[in-house]
Copies of this chain bind each other. A is one copy, B any other.
Amino acid sequence: MNSKLEDNNTTISYFKKEVESFVKERRWTKFHNPKDLIQAIGIEVSELSELFLFKDLSLDAIHKDKDLFENISDEIADVFIYLVSLINNLNVDLTSAFIRKMKKNEEKYRIEEFDNSSYRKL
């Protein structure tokens, strides 16, 4: 039996429960409101961004530098942790929100519209 949790066997609900327990145990729930949690996500994104500031890092260079890759993964995790706190706080089903938004994105950015040279932000 292999109980190792990985992306292919771990649901969003797992993350929601883990983050909820972490917050409750520290009695932090009352500090959490959507506006401050969004602010916190933004701050974590900035910390992630800072690892790349004034640098041009190739994927290869990132994967060869074990400490850097761990730092990047840690900051990605912190962004995700606050995002999960936010969906806990707002009672959002992330999967349903994702599916609905992906449908909107698919209609807005029609496949046939994009040849090899163009791009648009979501």
Q: Is the CB of A98 within 8 A of B81?
A: yes
**Total copies of the chain:** 4
Contact with A13, one of B7, B36, B76, B78 (Cβ below 8 angstroms): B7
Q: Chain A interface (Cβ within 8 Å of chain B)?
A: 5-16, 18, 22, 25-28, 31, 33-36, 38-50, 52-54, 56-57, 59, 62-63, 69, 72-74, 76-83, 86-87, 89-102, 104-106, 109, 111, 114-116, 119, 121-122
Complex CA gap A92/B80 in Å reads 13
CA distance A92 to B54 in the complex (A): 21
Contact A28 B114 (CB under 8 A): yes
- A76 & B93 in contact (Cβ 8 Å cutoff): no
| Given contact pairs A8-B12, A62-B90, A73-B90, a sample of 19 additional A-B residue pairs in the complex whose CB atoms are under 8 Å apart | A7-B11, A9-B11, A34-B57, A34-B62, A34-B72, A35-B52, A35-B57, A36-B54, A38-B52, A45-B45, A59-B89, A73-B92, A76-B92, A76-B94, A77-B101, A79-B83, A80-B97, A81-B102, A81-B122
